[in-house]
Each structure stands twice: as C-alpha cells, then as structure tokens.
Chain A
Amino acid sequence: MDELLLSKVRLGVVAELLNFDWVAFSELARALDVSNGNLGAHLAKLIEAGYVDEEKSFVNRRPLTRYRLTKRGRDAFAAHVSRLQALL
C-alpha cells in the first residue's frame, strides 16, 4: 500500500486530478468538500512526494493556483488502487 494514499482526502485529490490536465484549488476543495486549510496540507504532502505539480498565476489580478498529476503520482495511484482491489 502507498502510505500517502491511505488518506482518503489525498486519494480523492489524486482521483480528481486523474482525468484532467490542470485543476484549480477552489475546484478541488469544492469537489472534495474539504476546507481550504485541510486541502492545502494534503496537497503539500502530495507535492513533496512528487505526485502532484503546482502552478501559480494571476488571472485578472486574482491569484489562480492549479494542480496536475505527475507520472509518478499516476503510477502510484494505479498501483495503490490495484492493491485496494486485491483486498476485496
């Protein structure tokens, strides 16, 4: 099992990113129904592990932070879900 993905929120983040090129922070928080602080902490761990890339920019003078899954994150997710399925 992947220790990082044992957390339901982190697993949810990776699943949300799977089919998308980039997803904004606000979209992730809304889709997963978690607080900004909670999501930020989980994202920091995923970024540190190299599972997720972060991009910060400004759109109409407002900050926009977006995330995308890395190859490493994608591989880890596939392996982790396979192991979860093997448990059932």
Chain B
Amino acid sequence: MERIGVSEARDHIEMVERILAESHQRLCSGGEYFVVWGAGSAFVTVLFQLVDNAIVPPAALWSVPIVLVACALFSIVRGRTNRNVLQRSSLVQREFFNVLWLTLGLAFVATVAGYRIFTGAAGAAIWSVAEAIVLLYIGMHGNRRAQVFGVLVVASLIAANFAPPGTVGYVLGAGMLVGYAGFGASELLARE
C-alpha cells in the first residue's frame, strides 16, 4: 500500500463521486438557442401555411430569410460571446452543439438545395425531424426534459400526417414551438 490508508482512500473516492454527481447536474444545453430556432422555425412553417391558405399575402414570405438570418446571427454572436465568457464549458455541451449544428445544417441544406424534392409540408417536416433528433440525442444523455419535448415534436409530426389539408403547417409549427422552443425555455428556467 502506498502512503494512503483505506479510510483515506474511501474519503477520496467519496469526494470524487460527489464532484462527478454535482458536475453532471451543471451540464447545460444552451436553452436560448432552442428558443430562438424553435420560434424561428415555427414562424416560418406557420407563415408558409398562412400564405398557402391565402390568409396572408405572398409578399410576407420576404420575412423568412430575414428571420432565418437573424436566428443564424444570434447563434454566431451568442456562441462567440459564450465561448469567451463561460466559467464552465462542458464536453457534453460541445458534443450537443456538434449534433445540433450538423442536424440543423443538413435540414437547412435539404430544404434550400432540395426544394424540388421536399416540396410543401415535406420541407417543414424535415425541420421537425432534425429538431426531434437533437432533442432525443440530448435526452439519451439523461436529460428527461429533452426526452419529453423530443417526443412532443415526434407526436406533432405524426399528428401533422393525419391533419386536414390546410392545417399541416400549423400542427408542425406548434410542435416546433412547444417542443423545441419549449425545451429551451424549460432549460433557461431550470438554470435560474
């Protein structure tokens, strides 16, 4: 035995276990990004449906790129600020963001570059799938709220499939707002 007794070893192990348990609770998934992108994607989806139903004039679609650019700008600026200021930056959080940007990036490419394939509600549904993947991935790391909100997004996708014509966008939009932005809001509230 090397310079440490059994009771001391137990004391050290207990301290390590306590620190690891506490540090796990401090892992945060960046609620503000979910609020912004959830609200942004819901706005775009609902707006397309409103235009399709002739409730809003097509000229309103000019707000879509503005909203998407605003969401992207917020993410970039916030990400850079956080990176420099954060007192703690977790490894799992970095992994969450890698999955988040990959998934949402692919959804963006699919809807913008593949607009002839993913027409109408299919384009919006891709965003729902991407958001569900992100939430369920975070949920797999033990975040119960992410599991619940991820299931809500999936449920909205299934509900949209059976929704009457002219309401599909509303159902998908509701799923994005409640599921994705709702998860972000709940994370922010939990952080308080």
Contact = CB atoms under 8 A, between A and B. Distances in A.
Contact of A19 (B9, B13, B85, B90): B90
B83 to A, nearest CB: 9
B4 A27 contact: no
A35 interface: no
A84 B13 CA distance: 7
Interface residues of B, number: 29
Contacts of B91: 19-21
Nearest to A26: B87
B72 to A, nearest CB: 23
Interface residues of A, number: 25
Contact of B87 (A6, A8, A24): A24
B12 A1 contact: no
11 contacts: A1-B4, A11-B16, A20-B90, A21-B90, A23-B89, A24-B86, A31-B22, A57-B84, A59-B84, A87-B4, A88-B13
Given A24-B86, A87-B4, A88-B6, 13 more contacts: A8-B11, A12-B15, A15-B23, A18-B20, A19-B24, A19-B90, A19-B92, A21-B91, A21-B93, A24-B87, A26-B87, A31-B19, A59-B84
